[in-house]
Amino acid sequence: MKAPLKLQNLKGNRGARKLRTRVGRGEGSGHGKTSGRGGKGQTARNGGGVRPGFEGGQMPLYRRLPKVGFTSRKSVRGANDFNVINLDSLQKLNDGTVVDATMLREMGYAKRASKKRGVKILSGKGEFSKKLTFKVNAISETARQKIESLGGSVELLSA
């Protein structure tokens, strides 16, 4: 019969509590003499060893390779952080509808639309045949051509 489950009867599973290896406690322990550090030299010393990437005094790889500069895309082209929506997904809207960030958010297209993230309209691959008014932060040139050829208009907002 098992002992009842009480605080004084609790103990870990068999093998769960393993004693740490005590090195340098005689040859009979299996970890005596050099204490598992091998022979003599730099790695046998306390605090010894070499840093990662050390190649024994040879010129290391990170110093042999040429260094290439870095120019942030953000500093060159701006943040360019938009909610991207394709024209073909707005095909179900009625003619004359004003498309802006709040309307797209309500429809579930611009989920991440915030003051920081604007809306960008792309032409996409599908068909588009609606006369809509767009008030967005950015638009591709082909999308603008499609909208204006159908009699729609585009108003760019400041980002």
* Structural domain boundaries in the chain: 78-156
Our separate counts of H helices and E strands in the chain read 4, 6
pTM of the entire structure? 0.50
Q: How far is CA 151 from the centre of its chain?
A: 41
pLDDT (tens digit per residue) in 68-114: 888 887 777 677 778 888 998 888 888 888 998 888 888 888 776 55
pLDDT confidence of residue 115: 58
Which are the contacts of 129, defined by CB distance < 8 A and separation ≥ 6?
91, 150
Q: How far is CA 15 from the centre of its chain?
A: 40
- What is the distance between the alpha carbons of residues 78 and 62, in angstroms, rounded to a whole number? 32
The residue ranking higher by pLDDT, 155 or 74, is 155
Reported confidence tier of residue 18, pLDDT bands at 50, 70, 90? confident
pLDDT (tens digit per residue) in 122-141: 987 888 888 999 999 889 99
Q: Among 3.40.630.30, 3.100.10.10, 3.40.50.10320, 3.50.7.10, what is the CATH number of 78-156?
A: 3.100.10.10
- What is the distance between the alpha carbons of residues 136 and 143, in angstroms, rounded to a whole number? 12
